[in-house]
Amino acid sequence: MNFNVKKVIYDDIELSNATGTIAIEDEKASLTNVKSSLFGGNISLNGNVNTKGNTPTFAMDLDLNSIDIDQSFKGLDLLQGLAPIAKALQGALNTNIKLNGNLNGDLTPQLQTIAGNAFAKVLTAKVNAEQSPLLARLSENVAFLNLDNLNLNNLETYLTFDNGNIQVKPFDFNIKGIKVTAGGTHGLDQNMNYNVTLDVPAKYMGSEVSGLLSKLSAQERETMTVALPIGLTGTFNSPKVNLNTQAAVNSLTQRIIDKQKDDLKDKGKDLLGNILGGNKPKDSTTVQQDSVKAGTPKTNEDAIKDAAKDILGGLFGKKKTKAKDSVN
């Protein structure tokens, strides 16, 4: 059957201008090139429903383009389960979802049996943290994190799901100059276990790192960043936020130690180069002029050799008294 229907109503979902093909054979209905307007955007799908066994099954490949986030997540239980946090977003997204699972007697999906994967790209989005207890709790625990500055435009995420468990591959986004990396798992029962890392300007850590930052130059204090790990557990409605500030302090400490070691190495190389005559002292001209005033004109090479003797004498033994001093 080829169909062209102006309006299709399924529960609370209304599809407009639906077209496509349905073929039925051996208790299996196959849908091909089904297209429709939905949630302010467009949907296309291919799939089948099989009622031959004791438990009906389905398999679908869905493409949702420029759909309204708020409308779609309110209208589809599946999307609510895959990304509960999206209820705090307003905007549009594209997503491709491949899934299969069992059906109930009324041919609605048994969410716990669904398996598949999904890719989503947020086109535009504004965040209302008050609509998400998780975002609200995160904002409370991280004082410098202003979710009003959260930019999710063009954000891309990839996730897989099976037996009610959803695995979200780590993805990046930005909160006014702070890079955020998030990833983890949650269940259709709303339990979650996520790891979030903020690439935070070290100066935002306050008194906990002020002593460490004092060892840096003013410019380094402005540009130095540190990874702040955050664990998110509990449920989306009753989240637990764990800030691992000690890990951030330890990481910053090690970075500063490594930098100081590198600086010392560089200074050592410069000193050794001067001792061995590989580099001219910056004030070689001044040294030569001083020696001329003393009545013993010296070349740059002589000045370098004398400087090397003085340095080596100070390092390995008592410095010999200069001729000038002995005369005086």
Q: CA-CA distance, 165 to 187, in Å (whole number)?
A: 4
Q: What is the pLDDT of residues 22-42, one digit of tens each?
A: 999 999 999 999 999 999 999
Each residue of 132-190: pLDDT tens digit?
888 888 888 887 777 777 778 888 899 999 988 999 999 988 887 788 899 999 998 88
What pTM was computed for the model? 0.69
Q: Identify the pLDDT of residue 98.
A: 94
- pLDDT reported for residue 26: 93
**Which pLDDT score is estimated for 256?**
74
Closest CA to 114 of 99, 135, 136, 130: 99
DSSP code per residue over 300-312: HHHHHHHHHHHHH
Q: Are strands 150-151 and 165-175 parallel, antiparallel or unpaired?
A: antiparallel
* Partner residues linked to 25 by β-bridges: 28
Read off the tokens for 278. Answer: 């590989």
CA distance 79 to 118: 10
Please classify residue 122 by burial: count the beta carbons closer than 10 Å to its beta carbon, then call 0-12 exposed, 13-18 middle and 19+ buried.
buried
pLDDT value of residue 248: 79
Structure tokens at 84: 């509960």
Within 8 A by CB and 6+ apart from 173, the residues are 150, 151, 152, 155, 180, 182
Long-range contacts of 189-193 (CB under 8 A, 24+ apart): 189/164, 189/235, 190/84, 190/235, 190/236, 190/237, 191/234, 191/235, 192/232, 192/233, 192/234, 192/235, 192/236, 192/239, 193/231, 193/232, 193/233
Residue the block writes with tokens 């557990």: 233
Domain spans of the chain, in order of start:
2-188, 190-273, 280-320
Give the CA dihedral 201, 205, 210, 214, nearest 10 degrees. -10
What the block records as the tokens of 304 is: 């370098």
Which residues of the chain carry a pLDDT beneath 50? 281, 284-288, 291-293, 300, 304-305, 307-328
DSSP annotation string for 105-154: TTS-B-GGG-EEEEEEEEEEEEE-GGG-HHHHHHHHH-TT--GGGEE-TT
> d(Cα 32, Cα 44) in Å, to the nearest integer?
9
pLDDT value, residue 277 = 58
pLDDT at residue 25, rounded to an integer: 95
pLDDT number for residue 287: 46
CA 41 to the chain's CA centroid: 29
Q: What is the dihedral of CA 252, 149, 167, 238, to 10 degrees?
A: 90
Instruction: Please give the C-alpha separations between residue 30 and each of 23, 24, 57, 258, in angstroms, as whole numbers.
Output: 5, 6, 12, 63
Residue bearing tokens 């990304």: 83
Per-residue confidence (pLDDT) for residue 144, from 0 to 100: 77
Residue 178 confidence (pLDDT): 84
CA–CA separation, 152 and 120 (whole Å) = 12
| Side-chain-facing half-sphere of 173: CA atoms under 13 Å | 17
